[in-house]
Amino acid sequence: MNASPPPQVPAGHEAPREPRPSPIRVLLVDDDPLVRAGLSFMMGGLPDIRIVGEASDGAEVAALVERLTPDVVLMDIRMPSVDGLAATERLRRRERAPEVIVLTTFHADENVLRALRAGAAGFVLKDTPPAQIVEAVRRVAAGDPVLSPTVTRRLIAQVTDRTEDVRGGRARARLSLLNDRERQVAVAVGRGQSNADIAASLYMSVATVKTHVSRVLSKLGLTNRVQIALLVHDAGQLDGGDV
Superfamily of domain 24-157: Response regulator (3.40.50.2300)
Residue 189: partners with Cβ closer than 8 Å, 6 or more residues away: 198, 213, 216, 225, 228, 229, 232
Question: Helix (H, G, I), strand (E, B), or coil: what is residue 53?
Answer: strand
Helix residue ranges, H only, 45-129: 61-68, 84-92, 110-118
Task: Quick: pLDDT tens for 137-166.
Answer: 998 898 777 765 555 656 656 555 544 566
DSSP conformation class of 96: T
pLDDT beyond 90 at 23: yes
Residues in contact with 234: Cβ distance below 8 Å, sequence separation at least 6, in sequence order: 160, 167, 168, 170, 171
| Beta-bridge partners for 38 | none
Q: Please tell me whether residue 28 adopts helix, strand or coil conformation.
A: strand
* Mean pLDDT for all residues in the chain: 81
154 neighbors 108 (Cβ within 8 angstroms): yes
Residue 101 in this model has a pLDDT that exceeds 80: yes
The residue extents of the domains of the chain are 24-157, 164-239
For 108-145, how does the pLDDT look when each residue is reduced to its tens digit (9 = 90+)? 567 777 788 788 888 888 888 888 889 989 988 987 77
Query: Which stretches does DSSP call E strand in 119-203?
Result: 122-125
List, in order, residues 6 or more apart from 226 with CB less than 8 Å away. 116, 120, 121, 122, 145, 147, 152
> Is 164-239 a CATH 1.10.287.180 domain?
no
* Nearest one of 135, 130, 61, 131 to 98, comparing CA atoms: 61
For 6, which DSSP code?
P
> Are 24-157 and 164-239 in the same CATH fold?
yes
